Amino acid sequence: MAAQPGATSGDGDALWPRPSKTRVIAVANQKGGVGKTTTSVNIAAALSMHGQRVLVVDLDPQGNASTALATEHRGDVPDVYQVLVDDLPMADIVKQVPDMPNLYCAPATIDLAGAEIELVSLVAREARLRRALAAYDAMEFDYIVIDCPPSLGLLTVNALVAAEEVMIPIQCEYYALEGLGQLLRNVDLIRAHLNPTLRLSTIVLTMYDGRTRLASQVADEVRSHFGDTVLRTVIPRSVRLSEAPSYGQSVMTYDPGSSGAMAYMDAAREIAHRATVS
Ligand code: ADP
Ligand code: MG
């Protein structure tokens, strides 16, 4: 079924305001399985369907974002590892996502697993991604979304140094807030020492199960701590979201009418419109 940009929106807006300069957003949380990749891919797809030029940088050696965006990341395809470690230009690895004219992906292969170690001995090891994106004329893009691995190592540090915004997906489960303090301290440290313009811009609540009281308690607690940083839109549990990657698609094209697709569309709209206020 063909995707219809704007089809899920109540206000019939086909094009969203473009930011005045590239917004680089690191999607980070050192916990695995909280929805970083699902959020990166679907927010990026939703933005691209509304007139934004979007690049997804896959910074997780597992390459889940590359898979979801049908971007080859096996064998010896050039990938983010070679950009970070071998100084390959970004232009040599970025691919347009099939059937998504405004969406691009910088893929990760399993080689990237070695980068955490190999980066340690390199010059400007924390700023390799930032430099690569700057040299790539990032002005071409409205959004660069960086899908981080589940750790706070040098790959995530590279993302936080390259970005101006951090987006944290929080799963509406019991241990949701565990580890969040450590992540926020890392963001503060990077702001203090490496990237003064970095800010926590967005928290998105994921895998919300409206039938449980726990989910709404977690959501309330996060909102009372973080206020307007938390998107009004909550991402529900939706099996369509977990099925889409195996078809090499975002849920936006796989099943645009599903609850997960509509929620990510609304979340992306909130993000796009926030650009115009702050
Ligand atoms: P992370 O990148 O943080 O490790 P993922 O985005 O890969 O997390 O999500 C972990 C798993 O949960 C994946 O199998 C994904 O398909 C699934 N998933 C993510 N968000 C949802 C959701 N809202 N509803 C149902 N399944 C989800
Ligand atoms: Mg992931």
Q: Which of the residue ranges 53-57, 90-94, 163-167, 175-179 would you say has the lowest mean pLDDT?
A: 175-179
List, chain by chain if needed, residues with CB within 6 Å of any ligand 1 atom: 32-38, 64, 150, 206-207, 235, 237-238, 241-242, 260
Q: Is residue 35 part of a domain?
A: yes
Site to probe by mutation for ligand 1, drawn from 34, 38, 146, 247 as the one with most ligand atoms within 8 Å of Cβ, is 38
> For position 58, what pLDDT does the model report?
98
Q: Is residue 264 part of a domain?
A: yes
Q: Is residue 3 part of a domain?
A: no
Q: By C-alpha distance, which of 270, 231, 277 is closest to 9?
A: 270
Q: Is residue 18 part of a domain?
A: no
C-alpha–C-alpha distance, residues 19 and 17, integer Å: 6
Q: Is residue 7 part of a domain?
A: no
Dmax of the chain from CA atoms?
A: 52
Q: Is residue 51 part of a domain?
A: yes
Q: List beta partners, residue 55.
A: 104, 144
Here the CATH number for the domain that contains residue 235 is 3.40.50.300
Its pTM stands at 0.94
Domain count, the chain: 1
> For position 116, what pLDDT does the model report?
92
Question: How wide is the angle at C-alpha 31 spanned by C-alphas 30 and 33, nearest 5°?
Answer: 130
pLDDT for 89-119, tens place per residue? 999 999 999 999 999 999 999 999 999 999 9
C-alpha–C-alpha distance, residues 90 and 120, integer Å: 21
Domain that holds residue 113: 23-273
Neighbours of ion ligand 2 (CB under 5 A): 36-37, 60, 64
Q: Is residue 182 part of a domain?
A: yes
> Is the model's pLDDT at 3 over the cut of 60?
no
> For position 51, what pLDDT does the model report?
94
